[in-house]
């Protein structure tokens, strides 16, 4: 199963919107077939492994990181393919949370007389598909908020300068986290200050994440670097008024999508939980936030953050610099948002911390 998980990881950046899945077929202690799911529309991991094994699959054991599907999606059911191949035993790490599958794949295998087992390396399989599982079970993607900060927790100097707090190794690591995300989310303050491209660079990349900009008053310049290249999604609080209307026409004319998503009770605010539901409807599993303290705080306050990805540089910049979250003044520690540390390691000269909001404390540990 560990080998099947390693195979599944090959689809880390490309399997979306599907889960990352790997499969190993073994007979008499020998691996006779391997596969993983590379991208939507391609055969599933089990099919690749069965093709490699050929007739030797009869009587073999399959180790699959996720329950084989039992429904016709973009491809026919894998449970049927395993039955047809004459497998003797199927071991899965995790039941598929997709309501279209959810136990039906295993039931089908059992009904065909195949011996089944589940739960082997389930935590690892769950971690690998944390976004897919979140979308299937909560109707929202997994939101990972990335920030680079000084050791005293500051993300930008008072004059707005933030590039580059961390070193090249941490920045390269940040690009690897971007690459696995389905979308990168930022807000207009960051675009005005830094004019970032928010693309995946300096590593092989078959798929660029969708870039999403929260721009409540539609201020983004058509020349902004986030609007160059692939179409972006611009989320605004309103498209009313002649100026907003004209600007929307310019942006849509450039191929971008403008999505009005006003909050019910406050002007010039985007309804962030509604945005997460919209992301789920777009089949986005993992969202990577790279924004300033303004949007970071809004997301946190709206309970729209699942995980922090923090890079801490070994320098201090003082109190006049900006923090990670523009939170309102707190009068009691009990009201402070809480996290639990999930993983901590040094990347180059910097420290990388993964922390999850306290409600996710029971989540599985990260793979080293
Ligand atoms: N070190 C890092 O990792 C890092 C990363 C990115 C940016 N930065 C730095 O952060 C600074 C920019 O900070 P910032 O706070 O201005 O940037 P920001 O968070 O990217 O953008 C702030 C904008 O987002 C809007 N906003 C926030 N929540 C909203 C909601 N729910 N609905 C609608 N609009 C919402 C704000 O609207 P209102 O004006 O109405 O509040 C404001 O216009 C720059 O200096 C940049 O260099 C640092």
C-alpha span between 13 and 284 (Å, rounded)? 12
Paired tokens of 60: 């073999």
- Summarised one tens digit per residue, pLDDT across range 304-333 is 999 999 999 999 999 888 899 999 898 999
Phi, psi of 191 (to 5 degrees): -65, -40
Q: Which residue has the tokens 């990388």?
A: 352
User: How far, in Å, from the CA of 192 to the mean position of ligand 1?
Assistant: 9
User: How far, in Å, from the CA of 292 to the mean position of ligand 1?
Assistant: 4
User: How far, in Å, from the CA of 218 to the mean position of ligand 1?
Assistant: 14
Pocket test for ligand 1, best of 146, 154, 189 (most atoms within 8 A of CB): 189
- Summarised one tens digit per residue, pLDDT across range 231-282 is 999 999 987 888 889 999 999 999 999 999 999 887 789 999 999 999 999 9
Q: Is the pLDDT of residue 368 over 70?
A: no
**pLDDT value at residue 87:** 96
- Summarised one tens digit per residue, pLDDT across range 10-19 is 999 999 999 9
**pLDDT value at residue 319:** 87
Pocket test for ligand 1, best of 154, 155, 195, 295 (most atoms within 8 A of CB): 295
Q: Is the pLDDT of residue 366 over 60?
A: no
For ligand 1, say whether the CB of 147 is within 6 Å of any of its atoms. yes
Closest-CA residue, ligand 1 atom 15, reads 294
**Contact criterion met (CB below 8 Å) for 364 and 126:** yes
**Contact criterion met (CB below 8 Å) for 259 and 278:** yes
Upper half-sphere CA count for residue 5 (Cβ side, 13 Å): 17
**Contact criterion met (CB below 8 Å) for 166 and 345:** no
Q: Which residue has the tokens 């499969």?
A: 23
* Mean of pLDDT over the chain: 93
User: How far, in Å, from the CA of 290 to the mean position of ligand 1?
Assistant: 9
**pLDDT value at residue 295:** 97
Query: What 3-state DSSP class applies to 78?
Result: helix
The yes-or-no answer on residue 46 being catalytic is yes
- Summarised one tens digit per residue, pLDDT across range 224-244 is 999 999 999 999 998 788 888
Nearest C-alpha neighbor of 215 from the set 238, 241, 198:
238
pTM of the full structure: 0.94
**Contact criterion met (CB below 8 Å) for 77 and 52:** no
Paired tokens of 188: 């207009």
Confidence of residue 204 (pLDDT cuts 50, 70, 90): confident
Question: Catalytic: which of 9, 34, 46, 307?
Answer: 46
Q: Average pLDDT of 141-151?
A: 97
Helix (H) / strand (E) containing 24: strand 22-27
């Amino acid at each position: 199963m560990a080998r099947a998980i390693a195979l599944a990881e090959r689809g880390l950046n490309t399997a979306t919107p599907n889960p990352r899945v790997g499969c190993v077929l073994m007979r008499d202690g020998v691996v006779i077939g391997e596969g993983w799911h590379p991208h939507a529309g391609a055969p599933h991991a089990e099919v690749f492994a069965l093709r490699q094994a050929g007739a030797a699959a009869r009587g073999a054991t399959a180790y699959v990181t996720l329950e084989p599907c039992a429904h016709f999606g973009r491809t026919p059911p894998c449970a049927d393919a395993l039955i047809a191949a004459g497998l003797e035993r199927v071991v899965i790490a995790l039941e598929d949370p997709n309501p279209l599958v959810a136990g039906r794949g295993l039931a089908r295998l059992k009904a065909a007389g195949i011996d089944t087992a589940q739960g082997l390396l389930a935590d690892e399989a769950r971690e690998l598909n944390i976004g897919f599982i979140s979308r299937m079970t909560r109707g929202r993607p997994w939101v990972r908020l990335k920030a680079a900060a000084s050791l005293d927790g500051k993300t930008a100097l008072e004059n707005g300068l933030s590039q580059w707090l961390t070193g090249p190794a941490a920045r390269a690591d940040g690009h690897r986290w971007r690459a696995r995300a389905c979308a990168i989310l930022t807000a207009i303050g960051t675009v005005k200050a830094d004019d970032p491209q928010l693309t995946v660079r300096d590593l092989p990349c078959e798929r660029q994440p969708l870039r999403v900009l929260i721009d409540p008053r539609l201020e983004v310049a058509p020349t902004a670097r986030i609007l160059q290249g692939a179409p972006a999604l611009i989320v605004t609080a309103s498209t009313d008024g002649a100026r907003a209307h004209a600007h929307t026409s310019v942006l849509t004319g450039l191929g971008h999508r403008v999505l009005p998503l006003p909050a019910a009770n406050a002007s010039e605010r985007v309804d962030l939980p509604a945005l997460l539901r919209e992301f789920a409807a777009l089949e986005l599993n993992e969202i990577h936030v790279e924004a300033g303290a303004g949007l970071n705080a809004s997301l946190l306050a709206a309970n729209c953050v699942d995980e922090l990805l923090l890079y801490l540089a070994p320098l201090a910049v003082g109190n006049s610099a900006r923090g990670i979250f523009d939170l309102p003044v707190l009068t009691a520690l009990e009201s402070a948002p809480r996290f639990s540390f999930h993983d901590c390691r040094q990347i180059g000269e910097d420290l990388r911390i993964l922390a999850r909001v306290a409600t996710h404390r029971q989540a599985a540990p990260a793979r080293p």
